[in-house]
Structures are given as structure tokens and as C-alpha cells.
Structure 1
Amino acid sequence: MSTRAIDLNSDLGEGFGIWRLGDDEALLGIVTSANVACGFHAGDPSTMRRVCRQAADAGVAVGAQVSYRDLAGFGRRFIDADPGELADEVLYQIGALDACARAAGTSVEYVKPHGALYNATVHHDRQARAVVDGVKAFGDLPVLGLPGSRLLHHAERAGLRPVREAFADRAYTPEATLVPRSAPNAVLTSTEAVLAQVLGLAERGELVAVDGTSLKVEVDSVCLHGDTPGAVEHATKIRAALTDAGVPVARFVPR
């Protein structure tokens, strides 16, 4: 049985203006790290500041969820961005969120790309390096990404802490990458399937791909998407199941 602590993170603050997406407050009572949208794929100054304040009150780490500049597409469309501009936009997003976090008595403690940018940085070397350049320009923050990705490779080379992440509610290919959202059954919606995936990761370091292949994957953090149907129920049961299995749940960044 594993006794190694696991971090639970969730994408939060993904509303915009009068529109709300997910139950940020409920999830902040369950997760240990909050990936807060920085205004490029979702979020706005008031939402960012509110979620940072709630995270600070809950003792949850605040991370910058950086994205392509794509509000209309929710950051889920690939953009062939100039690496220099992309690095600057990453820096801009971290700085904007950090201002909101500091107003709430906390600070940005890590960075995670969102959506299409996250997927691009698995193999796209120039964009992976650009994201790391943007993070490094701000400071030495940990970077969340897929194990084996170019993003984590460049983060480590730049002296940043690479944080290996898996997803509770996403299906995996035999190559240990995420099944595209455009494919059938790319998102796990049943609580049983989500629980099985998380416990396999936490207890055995194992994922099962869509073709039945068993994948050995060591991770530091597990993402629970806030916009997945039943997200709060999934998160509540995951946290309880990990506790029952003797797996400590703790943020990967110290308080």
C-alpha cells in the first residue's frame, strides 16, 4: 500500500462575467491545489480575486492556469503562437493572477497550462520552451504537466520543479497521452470509473488505457476537472477513498 502523499488539483475560476462554470467554493473544500484561470481562456479580475480569496481561506495552493488567448474557444483550440509572444503572455497571466492572490494574502505558487496549450506542450518543443521561458521570467515556480512531456523536460532544464500530473476523469491512449476530447468517451463521467483510475494511480502507479494496456505512471498530483458532470461528487468520494486506502492527501507545495 502506498503511503506517498498525493496532491489533488482542480481547474477553478473558469466563469466569465455573469457566467459561472462549476462549483469553485465546494471544490476548494476538497482539493489541495487550485488551478485558477487567468483571463485568457476564462476568468476575469473579479472572479480571479474571489477564487484566490477563497483558496487562501481554505489553505489551498493557488496556481496560474495559463492558456492561449482564446476566450471564444475556451482555450481548447491550438494556436500556432510565436514563441516570444507566448512566453510574454504566460508571464502576463501569472502576474495578473499573482496580483489578485497577493491582495488575498497569498501568492501564485505554481503554473499549469490549460487545454490545447497543455496538450501542445507534450510534444511541441518550441511552445513547451516558450511556456517555461514565461514562467522563468516571473520566478522559479513549479510547473505541472504530463509525465514525459517536453514541458517538464524544459522545466527541469531551466531549474524549475517539474510536477508530474495525471487526470482523474480523462481517458488515456496506449502512449500515456490524453484521448482527444473530440473522441468518444474521452471524459470519464461515472464516479466508479473515476475512483478506479485515481486509486490505481495512488496505490499502484498504474493507469489503464482505452485499449486495456496497463501503463506505469508515477505522478505527484491528480487533476479533478471542475466542469465535468458530477465534479463535486467525484471529488468528495475520491478524497474519502484515498483516506480510507491510507493514502495521504496533501498539497505538493509547502505552506
Structure 2
Amino acid sequence: MSTIDLNADLGESFGAWTMGDDPALLAIVSSANVACGFHAGDPARMLETVRVAAARGVAIGAHVSYPDLRGFGRRDLELPVADLIADVVYQIGALKGIAAAAGTRVRYVKPHGALYNRIVHDDEHASAVVDAIVAVDPALAIVGLADSEVASIADAEGLRFVPEAFADRAYRSDGSLVPRNQAGAVLHDAEEIAQRMLRLAAEGVVTAIDGTDIAVSAETICVHGDTRGAVDIARALRRRLESAGLTIASFSAR
């Protein structure tokens, strides 16, 4: 691997509530997953984030979610398939309008939180997300975990699937993420994280929470904007990867 993408979940402030340091992260990452108002974000913050991303040459993706502002999109919801399709269509459409106003465009879709985790194994909700993307713009890519239901369904529908790894999250031995309500699920040591992701880029391997090494396929690495120390993590990660000779660039440019 000679090129890798760094992405961050951004635009998650809402009204008077501020989440993360978007300007600082947008100076580091190559792709921005912009909240579309269902788990976080509002139109003004969406537009502000997209304008800064566009000015910095950062690719823009729609960070779509279950409708769960109170739970920050991290609560699993049982929705009828038709409702989920409409919700995803709505969120992509909203960000497309914002992007057009900022003189740029949306390149990909990345589900958030509970929806992201659900479509790893739930073929019904995975199909709904893929169907929504195809209905809006089949040229959009979708970001998710490798070897998941959504990866298989996207491939079958001719939608580009981009496998992702998480810099600041612990993995279980089956390749899934350790649930956030368990100890050790979120990582904070910037240098340790950077070394961990360098090994991922070089060997395709991550050490799981039980100490076993697991294969993880990834074209993009995520740093959550709401993780404590996110800017330091992203900065250390980019520095370590570039020092090893890797180029940081959005997968959407390839």
C-alpha cells in the first residue's frame, strides 16, 4: 500500500452545542464524513463544514444515520425498510444541496453509529442503505467494514465499496468493533494508535482486544471527531504514515 485515506466524522455540532474541532481536523484528513442532521449537525454547521472542506481540498461524504439526535445515532432502531430508505435518501439529498451551494459535491456515503454496525450483519438494513444510495446517485461510493453484509450487497449492486479501519477503536477477534459500553473500546494514546495503524497499512493486521492478530482490509482510516484528543491522534497518525512513505489522499481520487 502506497496511498491511504484518512477520514473523520465532522459537522457534528448542533445549535449552541459544539462537538469536536472541525477546522483542525480538516487540516489533517483527506475525507470528511459530514453529519446530515439525523444524529448531529444542522444546516448552518453542515454548510460551514463543507465550505472549509472544499477550500482545503478534502473530499466530502454523507454521514447518514438512524433518526436519533438524543442518542447521537448510537442506539439501534427498528425501522420499516421503506422509512430507512427514505431517511437515507433525505440525508444524502440534503448534503448534496449544501455541497452544491459551497461549489463542491458529495463523493461517498458512510453510515454512522448503530446503523454502521447494524449493516455489518443485517442484510435487510444493508440492502435499504444500498438501495437508497443507488436511487440518489449510483456513482457514490459507500464506506464500511470489510467482509460485511453491506460490502457484499454493494458489490452485487455495482456500488463501489470502500473498506475502512478505525484508528481510535478496539477490535474483537472476529473483526468487529468492541461495543462502546465495554472497557477499552475507545483508544486515546496517539503514538500507540499511530503505530497500530502503520502496521495495518504495512501488514494488513491489527491486534484485537484479546491480544490476537487479525487481518483487517482498509482503504481508509477513521478518527472520530468526538474522541478525546482526536486532533492529536489524527496529527500523529498522519505524521507516522507519511514518515513511512505513504501518501495521504482521498480514496475518491482513485
What TM-score do you get using the length of structure 2 for normalisation?
0.98
Q: Helix, strand or coil for the counterpart of 2:181?
A: coil
> What are the ranges of 5 or more consecutive residues in structure 1 without an aligned counterpart?
none
Q: Helix, strand or coil for the counterpart of 2:251?
A: coil
Letter in structure 2 aligned against 1:145: G
Match of 1:153? 152
Report the alpha carbon displacement of residue 163 of structure 1 after superposing the two structures with TM. Answer: 0.2
Match of 1:24? 22
Q: Helix, strand or coil for the counterpart of 1:246?
A: coil
The one-character-per-residue Cα deviations of 1:143-167 (angstroms, maximum 9, x if unpaired) are 0000111111111111110000000
Report the alpha carbon displacement of residue 241 of structure 1 after superposing the two structures with TM. Answer: 0.6
Residue 85 of structure 2 corresponds to residue 95 of structure 1: no
Match of 1:176? 175
Within-5 A mapping of 1:212-251: 212-251=211-250
Match of 1:110? 108
What TM-score do you get using the length of structure 1 for normalisation?
0.97
Q: Helix, strand or coil for the counterpart of 1:70?
A: coil
The one-character-per-residue Cα deviations of 1:153-203 (angstroms, maximum 9, x if unpaired) are 111111110000000000000000000000001000111321122111111
1:83 to 55, 71, 81: 81
Distance 1:88 1:134 in 2: 7
> What are the ranges of 5 or more consecutive residues in structure 2 without an aligned counterpart?
none
Distance 1:95 1:108 in 2: 10
Match of 1:189? 188
Q: Helix, strand or coil for the counterpart of 1:62?
A: strand
Letter in structure 2 aligned against 1:18: A
Distance 2:174 2:191 in 1: 24
Report the alpha carbon displacement of residue 247 of structure 1 after superposing the two structures with TM. Answer: 1.2
Residue 63 of structure 2 corresponds to residue 61 of structure 1: no
Distance 2:177 2:104 in 1: 32
Q: Helix, strand or coil for the counterpart of 1:224?
A: strand
Match of 2:46? 48
* Residue pair 2:190, 2:233 contacting (<8 A) in 1 also: yes
Q: Helix, strand or coil for the counterpart of 1:65?
A: strand
Residue 3 of structure 2 corresponds to residue 5 of structure 1: yes
Which contiguous aligned blocks of 4+ residues in structure 1 show a shift greater than 6 angstroms?
none
* Residue pair 2:200, 2:206 contacting (<8 A) in 1 also: yes
* Residue pair 2:191, 2:237 contacting (<8 A) in 1 also: no
The one-character-per-residue Cα deviations of 1:49-76 (angstroms, maximum 9, x if unpaired) are 0001000000000000000000000000
Letter in structure 1 aligned against 2:88: V
Q: Helix, strand or coil for the counterpart of 1:86?
A: helix
2:12 to 11, 14, 34: 14
1:38 to 12, 36, 39: 36
